[in-house]
Amino acid sequence: MGIPIFWFLDDRPFPDLAVPMFMQRVAELDEWCRRHPEIPSVLTHGLVPATLMQGLGLPDEVVEVLRHPKLFAELLFPAKEPEYPYLPAPISVDPRSLEVDNEPRLV
């Protein structure tokens, strides 16, 4: 059918377990993509939940899951600053590092 599945990998109801639960969700998404490589998917709300980004950064496991040919990611840049230009993001991602066969993984 070509209809994508949208994934949101966040477990905020469990703040003490947020990082391990997020990493578990990444592993589950990776397994799902391996089982269903023909189904397009989109990782929504950014690569890592904003509440975890400062301490966790961009884990290698997230970069690896984005290498699945039919998985894409929605990049978000929270605009919490009242004035433009906004402050630089705490980490940067080279979009070319997330390409598979010269196809971008970011949407």
Domain ranges (residues) in the chain: 5-98
Give residues with Cβ within 8 angstroms of 16, minimum separation 6: none
Report pLDDT for 32: 95
pTM: 0.72
Residue 6 has pLDDT above 60, yes or no: yes
Q: Which helix (H) or strand (E) holds 7?
A: strand 5-7
Report pLDDT for 33: 95
In the structure, what pLDDT confidence band is assigned to residue 48 with cuts at 50, 70 and 90? confident
Report pLDDT for 82: 66
Adjacent-strand bridge partners of 6:
42
Cis amide prior to 85 (ω within 30 degrees) = yes
Report pLDDT for 80: 64
Q: Which residue has the higher pLDDT, 26 or 56?
A: 26
Residue 42 has pLDDT above 80, yes or no: yes
